Structure 1
C-alpha cells in the first residue's frame, strides 16, 4: 500500500485541517467532534446537513457553502459519522428555521442520523437518498444505496433553502429529486482502506465489477472487460428500466469518477451515455462530469440520470459556491 500518510489514526484530522487551510474563505473545520460548517453562518434559512464516511471526497465536505450544505459530518474512512458529530453540527448551524438532514441509505448512516435527530431541540426532517439501481439490498443497506445522485439532491435542495423556503418544502423537493434520479457504477480495480492496508476485493486484469458500490460492495456481477460502449449500454439500460422516462423528457446526465479514472475516459463514458439517451428520445440538457462521489483510489465510474422539470432545473442552475462545485456567483 502506497499512500501519502503520516499516521493512519491522524489521517482524517490532518486532511480536514488541510481542507480548512485551502478553503478558509468558505469553510470552518471543527475537531472533536469532527464537522465542517460554512465560514459564515447564514441567517433565517433551513440548515442543510449531510455526512458519511470519509474517502468519498468531495462528498460531503466539498459541498459545504452557498447554495448547498450548511454543514457536513465526516466519519472515518468508509465509517458512518457518530450522533454526537451530527448533533454538534446541527446546533452550530440551525438559525431558527429547522434542520434538514440529507442521508445516504446505508444502515449506519441512517441509524446514527436518526439517533441525533431524536436529541434535537428544534424542528427537523430527513431526506434519504437511494439512487443506486444496482441492487435492492446489500450487507451495507436496507433497500437501495445512496450514491452520486446525492450530489444532485444536495445542490437542488440547497438552492431552494437559500430562497427562505420552509423545512417541509425543502424535504418535499429532496424526496422528489431522489425519486427522479437513478445511478449505477462499475469498477475496474478495488480501493485500499488505509487502516486495512490491502485491497477490499481482487479483480483480474481482464475483469470488472458491474454495479459496484462506493465502498467496494459487490455489484450485480463480475465479468470480463469489454469496450466502453458496451459497459455504458448495460449501465444506461438498468437506469432507464428504473426511471421509465417518457420520450421527450429532459435529463441531467452525470458521469462520476471514483478517483482512479482519468477525465479523458470519463468523457468517453459521457459520449456513449449521451448517444444512448438521445436514441431513446431523451434530451440531455444539463451535464456534470468529474470526481464528485469517489471511492479512495478505485478505478471506475458511475452514471447518473436525473429527470428534470422546471423546478429542479431552476434550482440546479442557481448559483453555488463551494470548494468542489461553483457557478453563477
Structure 2
C-alpha cells in the first residue's frame, strides 16, 4: 500500500495552519492564544468554572473542535500524535481561568498525563486551582481490574459534553469534577480498524494491516487491539463490539444509554449508519433504551478506515448535561 495523498503545505506547519483555519471558520468565537498552538473562547463569563481539554493533533475535530459555549473553554494542541507541552498547557490554563478553578479533561496517555500534571503543579504556584479527569473508555486496552491503564478514545466526547454543561451551570469546581468523573466512569468504547492512517510529516502509515483483515479493539494511533481476523459483515462486527462493551460496565436491562458511532477518518456515513442500526437492534434485544444517538467524526486518526462505538449509561443528571444546548465548530445542539 502506497503513501496516502494529502492536501498539505509544509508538513511541519499542519498544526499552526489547522488552528488558523479553525479560528477563521468560527467567525470570532475562538481565538488563537498569543500566536501559539492553542485556542480559547473569546468570551468566557467571569466567575465561571473553566473547562480545559487538549491533546495531540491529528485527531480532529478532537480536541479544538469542541471549544465553545457549554463545551470547553480552551484547548492546547500538541504536534501530531504528541502531547502539548507543559508551558503551553499552563498558558492556556491562565487564559481560561476566571477565578473558580479549571477542570482538565483529556485522554489517558502517558505523555498527556505527564505534561498536564506538570502544568497543574505550575498552575498551583501561580494560584490557579485545577482538577483532572483522565478519560479511559477503551475496553480493549486493558482488563477491568486495570481500568486506569486504558486509553481514552471517542468517549472523550461524551465526557467533554457533560463536563461542559456542568462547568457552565455549577459554580463549584469540585462539583463539576464529580459530574465529569461520573460521566467518565459510565462510558465505554471499542474501535475496529480496517486500514491505517498516516503521519502527515512523513506520510508513513501508523501500522500495517493486510487488505482482507481487520483489527478489533485497535487504538486511535494503531495500538494493538484484542483480535485480528478476516473481514466479515458489518452486523457481526457491530454485535461483537457491542457485546464486549455491554459486558464491561456492565450495562443491563432497564438501563438508558447514549450511543456514539465515531468515524476514525475514512469510513463513510453509509457504513456508520449500518453499524448504528445493528447496535440499536442489539440494545433493544437486551432491554436497553437508547436516549440519543450521535453519528459522525468526533475522534479521528487521519485517514484511518474504521469506527468506534461508545455507550454512556445515563441517569437524570448525566442526561441533563448531555442534552444541554451547545455550539462549537464540530458539534452544535439547540
TM-score range relative to shorter protein:
over 0.9
Residues 1:190 and 2:191 aligned together: no
* Structural RMSD (CA): 1.3
Deviation at 1:81, TM superposition (A): 0.6
- Residues 100, 171 of structure 2: 8 Å contact kept: no
- Which residue of structure 2 lines up, in the alignment, with residue 125 of structure 1? 131
What secondary structure, in the 3-state scheme, does the structure 1 residue paired with 2:195 have?
Answer: coil
Residue of structure 2 aligned with 1:292, choices 279, 298, 307: 298
Residue aligned with 1:213, SS: coil
Of the three residues 313, 324, 328, the one matched with 2:330 is 324
The answer for the alignment partner of 1:106 in structure 2 is 109
1:270 to 267, 272, 276: 276
Cα distance per residue 1:235-262 (max 9 Å; x no partner): 1111011011231111101100012001
1:64 aligns with 2:70: no
Of 61, 77, 97, the match for 2:80: 77
Secondary structure of 2:180's aligned partner: helix
Query: What is the aligned counterpart of 2:230 among 224, 238, 244?
Result: 224
CA–CA separation in structure 2 for the residues paired with 1:45 and 1:232: 41
For residues 38-92 of structure 1, give each alpha carbon's deviation from its aligned partner in whole angstroms, at most 9, with x where no partner exists: 1223221111001111111111101000011000011111111110111000101
**DSSP 3-state at the match of 2:229:** strand
Q: In the alignment, which residue of structure 2 is the partner of 1:240?
A: 246
Give the whole-Å Cα distance in 1 for the aligned partners of 2:50 and 2:163: 11
SS at match of 1:100: strand
Instruction: Note if contact 1:44-1:164 (Cα within 8 Å) is conserved in structure 2.
Output: no
Shift of 1:195: 2.1
The CA distance in 2 between the partners of 1:31 and 1:146, in whole Å, is 29
1:164 Cα shift? 3.2
1:68 and 1:158 in contact (8 A); partners too:
yes
> Residues 1-329 of structure 1 correspond to what in structure 2 (within 5 A)?
1=3, 2-30=5-33, 32-120=35-123, 121-136=127-142, 143-328=149-334
User: If the length of structure 1 is used for normalisation, what is the TM-score?
Assistant: 0.96
| Number of equivalences | 325
Separation in structure 2 between the aligned mates of residue 31 and residue 296 of structure 1, nearest angstrom:
27
Taking the aligned partners of 2:239 and 2:161, their CA distance within structure 1 comes to: 27
User: Which runs of no fewer than 5 residues in structure 2 stay unpaired?
Assistant: none
> In structure 2, the residue corresponding to 1:301 is in which secondary structure?
strand
Give how far 1:154 is off.
0.6
Q: Which segment is superposed worse, 27-36 or 261-270?
A: 27-36
Structure 1 consecutive aligned stretches of length 4 or more whose deviation exceeds 2 Å? 30-33
Quote the Cα distance in structure 2 between the aligned partners of 1:262 and 1:236.
20
Q: Post-superposition shift, 1:20? A: 1.0
